Amino acid sequence: MVLPSVVVISGLCAPGRALVHRFVDTLGIDVDRQYPTARSAQELNRELADLPPELRWREWIRRIESVIFASASPVPHEDLARVVGQGAAVDLLIEDLSADLDGRAFEVAKVAGGWMMRTRSAYAPAIRAAADVGEQLLDLNEFDVAVLAAIAYHQPITRDGLRDVFGKEVSRDLIGRLHARDLIGTGPRSPKRGAPYTFVTTQQFLVAFNLETLRDLPDKEQLEDAGFTAESHKADI
C-alpha cells in the first residue's frame, strides 16, 4: 500500500531529525498521529471487544474505508485484515462498504489484486471540465494500444518478438510512451543471443484498464471478433 506524502524521518542524525520536526511542526503536522509507526500499528485495538457487535462491525467498515481512501495504490486483502478483528470477513466488510457508497459519486473497485477508491465513470466528463487532468490521461493511439495488448498477452516479450507479431519494427518512441505512462516495465533478460530485455505490463496497467489480474484480459477470440488483431495494424507503424 502506498500512502501519499508520507514524512519519513527515520535514519537521520539528531540535528537532521530536529530540523525535520521543526519543519513539520511549522506545517501543523503531527507525524506520530498521522503516520503511525510499526509499534503503534501493533497496539491498534483490532478486536474492539468492548463494542456491541453492530457497532464493532460498523467501526471495522470505517477503518477499511479510511485505509483504502488514504492509499494511492490498490490495497491488498492482507493489509486490510490488519485493521479488523481476527477472522473478520474482509470481503463481507467490503460488500457492506460498497452498499454504503451506493448512490455516491465514488465507489470501491477491486483492481490489481487489491481495492481502491475511484470516481464512477459517469462523472468523468464533470471531472475533466473542472480540473486539468491532461497529464493523467493515457493519450494512446490505436496502434499504441495494439502493442500494449501484444505485450500483455505475450509477456515477457522482446522488441524482436513484437516485430514478429506485427511484421515490422515497433519504434523505441512507442515503447518509451508506454514506459512513461507506467503501463509497461522491464522484464527478465531473454535467453536469446545478446540477452535482450523483455517487456511486461505493470500494476498501473491493471488499474488503468480496470483489471483485477491478467486473467481478466479479454479472450483473443473476442479481440479478433471485434476486428482488433495484429494483422490489422501491420501497415500502421
What is the maximal distance between C-alpha atoms in the chain? Answer: 68
Domains of the chain (ranges; CATH) run 1-43 (no CATH), 46-130 (1.10.10.10), 138-233 (1.10.10.10)
Higher pLDDT, 121 or 185: 185
Measured between alpha carbons, how far is residue 70 from residues 27, 96, 97, 214 in Å?
19, 19, 15, 25
Cell of 45: 485495538
- The string of pLDDT tens digits covering residues 3-53 is 544 444 444 455 545 555 555 555 555 544 444 444 455 588 999 999 999
Which helix (H) or strand (E) covers residue 107, if one does?
strand 106-111
Which helix (H) or strand (E) covers residue 22, if one does?
helix 14-26
Q: Give CA–CA dist 119/183, Å, rounded.
A: 21
- Other CB atoms within a 10 A radius of the CB of residue 146 amount to 23
- Other CB atoms within a 10 A radius of the CB of residue 174 amount to 19
* Averaged pLDDT for residues 77-90: 92
Q: What's the pTM value of the predicted model, to 2 decimals?
A: 0.58
Query: What's the Rg (C-alpha) of the chain?
Result: 23
**114 forms bridges with which residues in the sheet?**
111
Is residue 216 over pLDDT 90? no
Work out the percent of the chain whose per-residue pLDDT is above 90.
37
Work out the percent of the chain whose per-residue pLDDT is above 70.
71
Contacts of 213 (CB under 8 A, 6+ apart): 112, 113, 206
